[in-house]
């Protein structure tokens, strides 16, 4: 772990929680700066423990977001859980809501002098950040690199969709059902002999290319399960807001491949 990673935070970084304040998604670079060798190890921990904040401070932030719909520019000191080194950030957040129910907080961390645009305080914009996170993971080697830009974007679309479904299921139904979703995907891949895995919502690809029917069947299994534990309307709205972060050509290709179907 390079302590200097703590000091590289020169842009907004995103953390999603569930309604109880447990982390369900965190940007890889931020997790490593906080002392996690594997960013997925931060998933499931309380927000306070993950960011190194006092419990009362994290609870006050989450309470403000859940009751008023958002919070803007709270000064906070993050702390690396391994080295103890600390640095200051501004914490802002917006409430993720489904059918009138608070299901989690979309939290944005910025350098103290950074000013956020109004877009950052909407869940739709945070889904855009989720899509960018997935693209970055694929570009940086977390999945199989693809030379053709269109194919890479289609793979990013698939991975973003799977991550969004996982986050939605965990937020609305709990981590156990999120784990059930992942086990359904893994079981399907084992049975079919496909080269793909899913852990904490993160999709990783093996060396073997997935046939078109694999993409379609995996996407349909994940979406059907999300329907069963939430509702078709909630899933459709979440995925619809995710779609706007991809080009119409990508969405059209995803529909042709069966990655995207109307509920």
| pLDDT per position as a tens digit, 59-69 | 999 999 999 99
Q: What is the pLDDT of residues 21-36, one digit of tens each?
A: 999 999 999 999 999 9
pTM listed for this prediction: 0.82
Q: What does the alpha-carbon distance between residue 199 and residue 31 come to, in Å, rounded to a whole number? A: 16
Q: What does the alpha-carbon distance between residue 15 and residue 70 come to, in Å, rounded to a whole number? A: 14
DSSP symbol at 120? G
Highest mean pLDDT among 6-10, 73-77, 112-116: 73-77
For the chain, which residues make up each domain, given as ranges?
3-117, 133-257
Q: What does the alpha-carbon distance between residue 122 and residue 14 come to, in Å, rounded to a whole number? A: 13
Tell me if 152 sits within 8 A of 186, measured CB to CB.
Answer: no
Looking at the DSSP assignment, which residues form a beta bridge with residue 97? 102
Please, which residues have CB within 8 angstroms of residue 114's CB and are 6 or more apart in sequence?
11, 12, 90
Q: DSSP characters for 14-30?
A: EEEE-TTSBEEEE-HHH
Q: What does the alpha-carbon distance between residue 207 and residue 122 come to, in Å, rounded to a whole number? A: 37
Which of 18, 10, 15, 38 minimizes the C-alpha distance to 26?
A: 15
Looking at the DSSP assignment, which residues form a beta bridge with residue 76? 89
- Given the candidates 3.40.50.11810, 3.40.190.10, 3.30.450.20, 3.40.50.720, the CATH classification of the domain at 3-117 is 3.30.450.20
Structure tokens that stand for 177 in this block: 């059902």
Structure tokens that stand for 139 in this block: 């570009």
Place of tokens 């409430």: 95
Looking at the DSSP assignment, which residues form a beta bridge with residue 16? 25, 106
pLDDT of residue 226: 96
For residues 188-204, average pLDDT: 92
């Amino acid at each position: 772990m390079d302590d200097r990673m703590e000091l590289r935070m020169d842009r907004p970084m995103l953390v999603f929680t569930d309604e109880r304040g447990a982390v369900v998604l965190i940007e890889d670079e931020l997790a490593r700066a906080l002392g996690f060798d594997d960013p997925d190890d931060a998933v499931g921990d309380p927000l306070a423990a993950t960011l190194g904040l006092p419990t009362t401070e994290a609870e006050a932030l989450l309470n403000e977001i859940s009751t008023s719909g958002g919070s803007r520019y709270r000064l906070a000191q993050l702390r690396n859980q391994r080295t103890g080194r600390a640095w200051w950030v501004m914490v802002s957040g917006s409430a993720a809501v489904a059918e009138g129910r608070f299901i989690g907080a979309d939290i944005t961390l910025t350098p103290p002098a950074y000013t956020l645009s109004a877009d950052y305080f909407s869940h739709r914009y945070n889904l855009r950040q989720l899509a960018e996170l997935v693209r970055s993971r694929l570009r940086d080697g977390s999945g199989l690199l693809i030379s053709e830009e269109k194919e890479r974007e289609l793979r990013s679309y698939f991975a973003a969709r799977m991550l969004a479904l996982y986050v939605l299921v965990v937020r609305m139904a709990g981590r156990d059902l999120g784990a059930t979703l992942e086990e359904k995907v893994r079981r399907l891949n084992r049975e079919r002999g496909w080269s793909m895995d899913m852990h904490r919502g993160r999709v990783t690809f093996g060396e073997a290319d997935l046939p078109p029917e694999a993409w379609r069947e995996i996407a349909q299994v994940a979406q059907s399960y999300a329907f069963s534990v939430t509702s078709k309307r909630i899933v459709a709205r979440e995925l619809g807001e995710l779609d706007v972060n991809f080009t119409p050509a990508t969405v059209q290709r995803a529909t042709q491949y069966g990655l995207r179907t109307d509920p």
